[in-house]
Structure 1
Amino acid sequence: MRKIAVLGIGKVGDLAALLLHESGFDVTGFDRRTPRRTRRYRVEQVDVADTAVLREKLSEFDAVLSCLPYNLNIEVANAAHAASIHYFDLTEDVPTTKHIIELSKSSKGLMAPQCGLAPGFVGIVGASLIGEFDRCRSVRMRVGALPQNPTGLMGYSFNWSPEGVVNEYLNDCEVIEGGERKWVSPMEWHETLYIDGVKLEAFTTSGGLGTMCDTYHGVVDNIDYKTMRYPGHMELMNFFFHELLMRERRELAGEILVHAKPPVDHDVVYVHVAAEGTIDEHLSRKEFVRAYRPIEIAGAERTAIAWTTAGSVVAVIEMVRDGLLPNSGFLKQEDIPLAAFLQTRTGAFYGQ
């Protein structure tokens, strides 16, 4: 695997392409917009939503990384499957992943969706903690991408795809509770927690678990994923989507929210993963708690959400290239060893 196409050159896609280039890959970026500046890797203006053009372009590559909105990923995965090349994405969308799982059954390349932050890195961490127990009774995974200096009642800024945020706020969430797999409503199961003395709230959102319910059903009795926000956010979002019926107008909802709360440069990504179980018949609790902030990469400061998302998928791609992960079939995030991930050139960012 040497030649890789990166689709969607926004903040995350651009950084992922740059990291791949610095890791020795031959990278070409594709975006529907004309490049505004010169980059260290090639960029072509292509309508990535044009299926015929996409299939023609991908035939020249060994792998493709989609950094596009989730609703475009099925066609990209189909094109990668047809070209017999490796496929990677950042999606949290459950139907998209189910489609890719079916493609993987006849794929000659590796199909690896959900390689971002959540799902993605948080699942790698969760699986690592589960593995520390003789028997694990619960694993709770929480992630929050937030402004460091919030303003207003919402206390938020849209540093991530508005389509992705709206999707995870409105789609049902899979959990394991008391040994049973269940679907629960989003923006419920409210709780309060603290990281570095900062008070946060957490609530259910869709997609963050990836395939963990498939993997750990019958093994771990309780698994759930929640998004973390500053206090009061969940109540306002429930009002916006349900009382004002913006759930029926998802695209408009995303436009309104981004217009009101545009991206900021000074953000923070909180990761809180806690597992409980027995070791030598003694009950114990293991935690992985981090606050990731912007860092300098390749001579420029990168937002926390950009580098934690791009860095996760690039580290996985490095591991596939280096023979540390399979090169065909379907890749589950929980099958990626955390120690090896952190030893990659890009995964090392998470250990700082």
Structure 2
Amino acid sequence: MIKKIAVLGLGKVGSLVATLLSSKYEVEGMDQFDVKDKLPFEVLKGDVSNDKNIRDFLKDKDAVVSCLPYFLNIKIAETAVDMGVHYFDLTEDVPTLNAILKMSENSNSVLAPQCGLAPGFIGILGAGLYEQFSEIRSVKLRVGALPLHPMGQLGYSFTWSAEGVINEYLNDAEVIQNGNRKMLSSLDDVESININGRQYEAFLTSGGLGTMCETLEGKVDTLNYKTIRYPGHRDGMKLLLYDLLLKDDRKLAKDILNNALPLVDDDIVLVYAAVEGILDGKLRRKEFSESYRKITLDNKDWRAISWTTACSISTVVDLVSEGKLKNQGFIKQEEIPFDMFIKSHFGSMYETYKDPK
């Protein structure tokens, strides 16, 4: 049973992850910057890239939840494995995932990366759909985190890590196409998608499937994940990253985008999944389509991207603590039963706070 939890990174998402978990567990947070908000748990200021700081911070903890940028997570995971501490993160970065998979071969504790919205919740949801079928033809997963009121050609606001967005736009996307597992260029395979009467575009991005291509290899003809954006966003990003060559200077790209696209208070998260195959002897399609907006918890407003992400990782931590998931080794998101997830203490927030139809 998990009793004491360390949360690293207390930004837009991390502060809510720690807040949710502190309602059930003893939580202590660490961030490299001064945290101005009053939070219901102890906060330490420290260099989150310093190994000694992390080891001192984890020495009395049962679990660590990393809400840090993806490029810091491999070292945190290595330290957690060495200390026998359960590890959870939000990364979408494929090299980080592969490194953590390798670590899990000799781990006495849980390693559960990619516990956010996508990868994370979307994989749990997708598996909950395709497990109903006797044969699967296609699995298509779509997620978008967007400003509620878009402005400009990009129609976007960085409600989470700019580094993460650029990373998933530039790294190749893994898919299963015509039954073959392969890598395709992100920002490609653009499609038009209509959700609740509004038109969006969706295109391939890296990391959203987590380990699902490995899980479904040889079992499905088509599997892909696409990011949902307002029409025109993909063309604008193609111009910026490829035509203007900012793909070669990610820091400059991040600085330009952060300066151009200010944070907004009102956002919306769109989640769509569709599975086709044989169900009860017939060719069927099962779909899930929901949208989520900001909520208020204890008189504090939380953006949709923050609470949907925080809810997902908090649920996985909780299910491990309650013994409902394994307590050692690597946990794939698609291994987590959707019904168990959605009925759990934190997972039920997806039902409680979904937009009314």
TM range (shorter): over 0.9
Which residue is 1:254 aligned to? 254
* Pairs within 5 Å for 1:47-58: 47-58=47-58
Which residue is 2:11 aligned to? 10
Which residue is 1:325 aligned to? 325
Alignment check: 8 A CA contact 2:12 2:160 kept: no
* Pairs within 5 Å for 1:93-242: 93-242=93-242
Tell me how far 1:35 sits from its aligned partner.
2.5
Deviates more, 1:48-57 or 1:270-279: 48-57
Tell me how far 1:153 sits from its aligned partner.
1.1
Which residue is 2:355 aligned to? none
Q: Secondary structure at the match of 1:10?
A: coil
Which residue is 1:297 aligned to? 297
Report the Cα distance in structure 2 between the residues aligned to 1:271 and 1:34, rounded to whole angstroms: 34
Deviates more, 1:69-78 or 1:292-301: 292-301
Which residue is 2:41 aligned to? 41
Tell me how far 1:169 sits from its aligned partner.
0.3
Tell me how far 1:345 sits from its aligned partner.
1.3
The residue type equivalent to 1:249 in the other structure is D
Alignment check: 8 A CA contact 2:277 2:283 kept: yes
Unaligned ranges ≥5, structure 1: none
CA deviation string 1:241-289 (max 9, x = no partner) = 0000000000110111011001111000000100000113211000010
Q: TM-score, normalised by structure 2?
A: 0.97
After the TM superposition, which segments of 4 or more aligned residues of structure 1 sit over 4 Å from their partners?
Answer: none
Alignment check: 8 A CA contact 2:81 2:109 kept: yes
Alpha-carbon distance change, 260 to 339 in structure 1, aligned in 2, over 3 angstroms = same
Seq. identity, %? 50
Alpha-carbon distance change, 37 to 201 in structure 1, aligned in 2, over 3 angstroms = closer
CA deviation string 1:106-164 (max 9, x = no partner) = 11110000000000000000001101111111000000000010111111111010000
Residue 338 (structure 1) aligned with residue 338 (structure 2):
yes
Q: CA RMSD in A?
A: 0.8
CA deviation string 1:40-82 (max 9, x = no partner) = 1000001011112212221221000000000000110011011
Q: Secondary structure at the match of 1:91?
A: coil
Deviates more, 1:324-333 or 1:33-42: 33-42
* Pairs within 5 Å for 1:279-318: 279-318=279-318
The residue type equivalent to 2:4 in the other structure is K
Which residue is 1:20 aligned to? 21
Report the Cα distance in structure 1 between the residues aligned to 2:6 and 2:280, rounded to whole angstroms: 48
Tell me how far 1:36 sits from its aligned partner.
1.6
Q: TM-score, normalised by structure 1?
A: 0.98
The residue type equivalent to 1:182 in the other structure is K
Report the Cα distance in structure 1 between the residues aligned to 2:327 and 2:48, rounded to whole angstroms: 25
Report the Cα distance in structure 1 between the residues aligned to 2:182 and 2:37, rounded to whole angstroms: 48
